[in-house]
């Protein structure tokens, strides 16, 4: 009696033909959603799970991660980068000697402007242990006053309620930070004896740090306000040129204004700037090169009519693109709404 045993061996499937990759000068085509999920399982968790056609027209630089195309903007002047620079400048001011500012104001400023990773570390187990051990040392040994500020910062962040920490990254938090920064800058320049003495050898480091923090807070507030309105912001450039105070126009046309515009233009040539940050540079350049016939419109009825027309058009754009008057006064848009309303009312008063 014989038993025959047959084994069914699977035959190898032919490999699927490779699809030709489309050659595009801008960005490679977006993969299907399944490929994106596969890449997300591999560890690229930051990739989106839906197709996003961000690469149309090659408006942003692109690179590849796995089989997915990632389009991103430059991070030279991104908000996280500016937060790191602001935190570093605040740390310098903690220890700086050539300034007369009230340094405890740096503690809430650091809590509002520090990078998210720093705040997360302070609130983690390692941060709590560090604050606990530093507090024990402080109880039994004398610590210099400047070293108490970092400890106070860690304790403030650790015990701050979530309602306070939720101000980070909002317009309200940016306004509070800018107010603190402006007060510290006023204290520094008045107590050092003026702008000239603030750049002496003993105070130049603190002066640069304060200027850095002030500029960064202005930029962050501008970026937050820019997200809350849908107006065509280029119209603000001629509006500012027609309505700015004579002292501002004189400063722009003086020796300091061209130097500021020149240095800003050099930075613009080598580093990409967000669109909102180009508007101040364009404003300075427009005022600097404007012929006298245009600047003579300032303070006249013709200039007031042009300014009112621009302000009315911007107000119309803002209220229509935010979804009406009711939504324009939401928390995210109320500051931009108040600013546009103020500009419109002032131009109406100046005309009549």
pLDDT at 332: 67
Give me the count of residues in the chain. Answer: 352
* pLDDT higher than threshold 70 for residue 92: yes
> Residues 118-151: pLDDT tens digits?
999 988 888 889 888 888 888 888 877 777 888 8
Asked whether 216 and 82 are in contact (CB, 8 A), the reply is yes
pLDDT at 235: 84
> Which has the higher per-residue pLDDT, 174 or 145?
174
3-state secondary structure of 70: strand
Distinct helix (H) and strand (E) counts, the chain? 18, 2
Dist CA 253 CA 247 (whole Å): 10
Dist CA 70 CA 140 (whole Å): 54
* pLDDT higher than threshold 80 for residue 84: yes
CB neighbourhood size of 227 (10 A)? 12
pLDDT at 76: 55
Contacts of 261 (CB under 8 A, 6+ apart): 252, 281, 284, 285, 288
pTM of the model: 0.54
Average pLDDT on 179-207 reads: 86
CB neighbourhood size of 202 (10 A)? 12
> Which has the higher per-residue pLDDT, 295 or 98?
295
Residue with tokens 């340094």: 103
Residue with tokens 């009312």: 345
Q: Which tokens is 308 given?
A: 């009112």
For the chain, give the mean pLDDT: 75
Contacts of 339 (CB under 8 A, 6+ apart): 225
| pLDDT range class, residue 24, cuts 50, 70, 90 | very low
Average pLDDT on 274-303 reads: 82
pLDDT at 158: 87
Burial 15-43 (b: 16+ CB within 10 A, else e): eeeeeeeeeeeebbebbeeeebeebbeee
Dist CA 154 CA 122 (whole Å): 6
Residue with tokens 């983690």: 124
Dist CA 241 CA 294 (whole Å): 10
Range in 8-22, 28-42, 219-233, 273-287 the model is least confident about: 28-42
> Which has the higher per-residue pLDDT, 261 or 10?
261
């Amino acid at each position: 009696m014989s038993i025959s045993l047959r084994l069914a061996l699977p035959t190898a499937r032919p490999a699927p033909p490779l699809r030709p990759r489309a050659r595009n000068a801008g960005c490679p085509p977006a993969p299907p959603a399944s490929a994106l999920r596969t890449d997300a399982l591999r560890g690229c968790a930051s990739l989106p799970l839906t197709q996003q056609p961000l690469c149309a027209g090659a408006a942003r630089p692109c690179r590849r991660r796995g089989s997915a195309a990632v389009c991103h903007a430059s991070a030279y002047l991104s908000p996280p980068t500016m937060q790191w620079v602001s935190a570093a400048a605040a740390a310098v001011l903690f220890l700086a000697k050539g300034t007369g500012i009230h340094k405890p104001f740096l503690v809430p400023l650091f809590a509002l402007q520090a990078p998210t990773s720093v705040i997360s570390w302070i609130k983690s187990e390692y941060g709590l242990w560090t604050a606990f051990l530093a507090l024990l040392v402080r109880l039994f040994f004398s610590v210099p006053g400047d070293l108490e500020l970092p400890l106070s910062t860690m304790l403030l962040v650790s015990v701050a309620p979530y309602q306070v920490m939720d101000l980070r990254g909002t317009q309200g938090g940016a306004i509070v930070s800018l107010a603190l920064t402006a007060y510290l800058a006023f204290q520094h320049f008045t107590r050092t004896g003026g702008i000239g003495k603030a750049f002496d050898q003993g105070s130049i480091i603190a002066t640069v740090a304060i200027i850095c923090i002030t500029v960064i807070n202005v930029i962050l507030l501008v970026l937050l306000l820019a997200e809350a309105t849908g107006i065509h912001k280029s119209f603000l450039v001629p509006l500012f040129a027609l309505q700015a105070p004579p002292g501002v126009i004189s400063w722009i046309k003086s020796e300091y204004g061209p130097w500021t515009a020149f240095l800003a233009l050099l930075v613009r040539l080598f580093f990409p700037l967000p669109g909102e940050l180009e508007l101040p540079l364009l404003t300075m350049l427009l005022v600097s090169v404007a012929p006298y016939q245009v600047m003579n419109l300032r303070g006249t009825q013709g200039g007031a009519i042009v300014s009112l027309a621009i302000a009315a058009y911007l107000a119309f754009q803002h209220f229509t693109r935010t979804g009406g008057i009711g939504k324009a006064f939401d928390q995210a848009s109320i500051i931009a709404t108040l600013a546009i309303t103020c500009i419109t009312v002032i131009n109406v008063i100046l005309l009549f």
